[in-house]
Amino acid sequence: MSETKNLNIEIKEEDGISIISIRGFLDANTAPNLEQAVEDIINNNKYKIIVDFSELDYISSAGLGVFMSQIETIRENNGDLKLCRMQSKVYSVFELLGFPMLFDICDEIDQCKKKFENG
Amino acid sequence: MAKLMDNILSAYGDYKELEDIRKYVRERAENFGLSESKVNNITLAVDEACSNLIHYNINFDAKKTFNICIVEKTNQFSVVIQDSGKSFNLMRVKCPDMNKYFKEMKHGGLGIHIIKKIVDKIEYIAATSSNKVNTLTLTMLK
């Protein structure tokens, strides 16, 4: 678990998938912490990642940038970064710039898992 | 830590200030009576503008400060951000083609695009030799 004043990050493994749960605020101040957490997973050669946003209250472009910065490496290694359980105010920031075109954004973690199972 | 005095919030050139800035703007926008989505949007826009300012205008110099002031009129809510760093007119920045952006897996540079998409009115006055303050005004209509 990693925690700054405004962002809590918890990581667990289920069925060969790394699940990152984030809580708090993802902005320019806290985004480097999440970026490091994702990098650590990738450095362990794990490329199937789900991010659970259910307790994330806020995201800015710096937060969006974390996912953009890692997605190429992840997909080059036959993995994916799937996102789920966003509050509507967080989803609206993703939607604003068309991010649902690039990322699977699901209502529930199980839906993300099924998408991994189905390739 | 950001300080509020005479309706002006003074913040340092450090990303840690963003949370206090957002809290201040959100509270004032809610009290003014903007809709929930407009409150979220002006808060996000100010965060993006201040993140850019801290990075590019004052280059993370935590000794330098910039000011945030709210101006309320009958049907418009404005956030005025003033700094004495390098001038940077975000209105001159071209917004990316998002299809190309995603295709090329780019990252970064989306803050200004967000501001332009969600704010009703943007004004920028660059510092001059007689007035050494840059002023960015982000306005939401009620």
pLDDT in tens, B39-90: 999 999 999 999 999 999 899 999 999 999 999 999 999 999 999 999 988 8
Contact assignment for A61 to B37 by CB distance below 8 Å: no
At CB < 8 A and 24+ separation, what contacts does A32-37 make?
A33/A2, A33/A4, A33/A7, A33/A9, A34/A7, A34/A9, A34/A63, A34/A66, A35/A66, A35/A69, A35/A70, A36/A2, A37/A2, A37/A9, A37/A11
pLDDT at position A4, please?
54
Domain range summary for chain B, segments of one domain joined by + = 3-141
pLDDT at position A2, please?
52
Give the CATH H-level superfamily of domain B3-141: Histidine kinase-like ATPase, C-terminal domain (3.30.565.10)
Contacts of B106 in chain A (CB under 8 A): 68
Look up the pTM and report it. Answer: 0.93
**B5 or B26: which carries more pLDDT confidence?**
B26
Q: What is the pLDDT of residues A6-39, one digit of tens each?
A: 899 999 999 999 999 999 999 999 999 999 999 9
ipTM of the shown complex: 0.92
What is the H or E stretch that residue A90 is in? helix A88-96
Residue of A nearest to B118 (CA): A96
**Cα–Cα distance measured from residue B19 to residue B69, given in angstroms and rounded to the nearest whole number:** 16
Mutant choice from B105, B113, B115 vs A, greatest count of A C-beta within 10 A: B105
Q: What is the mean pLDDT of each run of 10 residues along chain A (119 residues)?
A: 74 96 97 97 97 98 94 95 97 95 96 92
Q: Could you tell me the strand order of the sheet in which A7-14 lies? A: A2-3, A7-14, A17-26, A48-59, A80-84, A105-106
Contact assignment for A65 to B110 by CB distance below 8 Å: yes
CATH number, domain A2-117, options 3.30.750.24, 3.20.20.140, 3.50.50.60, 3.40.50.300? 3.30.750.24
Q: Which of B22, B99, B107 sits opposite A68 (nearest CB)?
A: B107
